[in-house]
């Protein structure tokens, strides 16, 4: 009789070199190649523009811990390392040197790349919804789009989709305006139709552009229920 498959745990992840991006998805170790330059630039910019006012700046709307690539354990067999992740300090008073962190985050942001887009949109979206992560952002550097989702009744509701021509107040960080042009990497090889102009956006608003060149995520349904 074939031996039962043993599900991996965090202890198995610790045996993997630290410079390898490895996660646990339903007991299976999933590794990813190193980040592309656009991915790293978005991650660094988001850490600055969100982490600055909400974590570093004591004169700003603080009350958060904002980290990059922190191990988060949702179950014994599910551990992810989000590109950016945040906790309200009222729920995580002192992270210290905890590894992994077992407290469910208040906000997660994943930066899409060819190697991880499927996991971020399917497996992780389902996992985060099941465990009650209230806010989930997806950033697509190639299309220069930010999609923001809010969890309601175990469904991901689209709060808004913004491109790099816009300035937005995006939940849960509505206290500051986020200029997407500064966050998303420039791509001179792509052009926008005339209708795409810089304007202020509010949560729930649609991108200004409605032409056929708008990427498909901008037309996503406003309700997204992760598959059971």
- Least confident range from 21-30, 87-96, 126-135: namely 87-96
Using one digit for the tens of pLDDT, what is the confidence trace for 38-63? Answer: 778 898 889 999 988 898 865 555 68
What rounded mean pLDDT belongs to the chain? 80
Compute the average pLDDT of residues 185-199.
41
Do the domain assignments include residue 125?
yes
Do the domain assignments include residue 123?
yes
The pLDDT, as a whole number, for residue 133 is 98
pLDDT score of 2 more than 80:
no
pLDDT score of 126 more than 60:
yes
Residue 32 — very low, low, confident or very high, per pLDDT cuts 50/70/90?
confident
Total domains in the chain come to 1
Compute the average pLDDT of residues 25-31.
94
Do the domain assignments include residue 43?
yes
What span, in angstroms and rounded, lies between the C-alpha atoms of 36 and 53?
26
Do the domain assignments include residue 22?
no
Do the domain assignments include residue 137?
yes
Q: Which residues contact 73 (CB under 8 A, 6 or more apart)?
A: 10, 79, 100, 101, 102
Using one digit for the tens of pLDDT, what is the confidence trace for 86-118? Answer: 999 989 988 888 889 999 999 999 999 888 899
Do the domain assignments include residue 30?
no
Q: Which residues contact 12 (CB under 8 A, 6 or more apart)?
A: 24, 29
The pLDDT, as a whole number, for residue 35 is 65
Do the domain assignments include residue 17?
no
Do the domain assignments include residue 199?
yes
Compute the average pLDDT of residues 179-198.
56
Domain of residue 72, residue span: 36-210+217-224
Q: Which residues contact 15 (CB under 8 A, 6 or more apart)?
A: none
CATH number of the structural domain spanning residue 47:
3.90.1570.10
Residue 186 — very low, low, confident or very high, per pLDDT cuts 50/70/90?
confident
């Amino acid at each position: 009789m074939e031996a039962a498959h043993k599900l991996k745990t965090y202890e198995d992840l610790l045996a993997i070199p630290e410079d390898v991006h490895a996660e646990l998805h339903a007991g299976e170790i999933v590794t990813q190649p190193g980040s592309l330059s656009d991915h790293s630039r978005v991650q660094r910019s988001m850490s600055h523009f969100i982490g600055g006012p909400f974590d570093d700046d004591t004169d700003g709307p603080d009350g958060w811990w904002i980290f990059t690539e922190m191990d988060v354990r949702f179950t014994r067999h599910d551990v992810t390392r989000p590109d950016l992740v945040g906790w309200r300090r009222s729920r995580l008073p002192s992270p210290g040197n905890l590894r992994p962190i077992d407290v469910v985050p208040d906000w997660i942001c994943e930066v899409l790349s060819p190697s991880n887009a499927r996991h971020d949109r399917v497996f992780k979206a389902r996992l985060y919804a099941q465990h009650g992560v209230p806010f989930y952002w997806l950033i697509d550097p190639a299309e220069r789009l930010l999609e923001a989702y809010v969890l309601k009744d175990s469904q991901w509701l689209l709060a808004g989709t913004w491109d790099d021509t816009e300035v937005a107040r995006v939940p849960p960080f509505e206290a500051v305006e986020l200029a997407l042009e500064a966050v998303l990497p420039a791509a001179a090889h792509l052009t926008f139709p005339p209708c795409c102009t810089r304007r202020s956006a509010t949560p729930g608003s649609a991108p200004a552009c409605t032409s056929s060149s708008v990427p498909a995520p901008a037309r996503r349904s406003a309700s997204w229920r992760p598959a059971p």
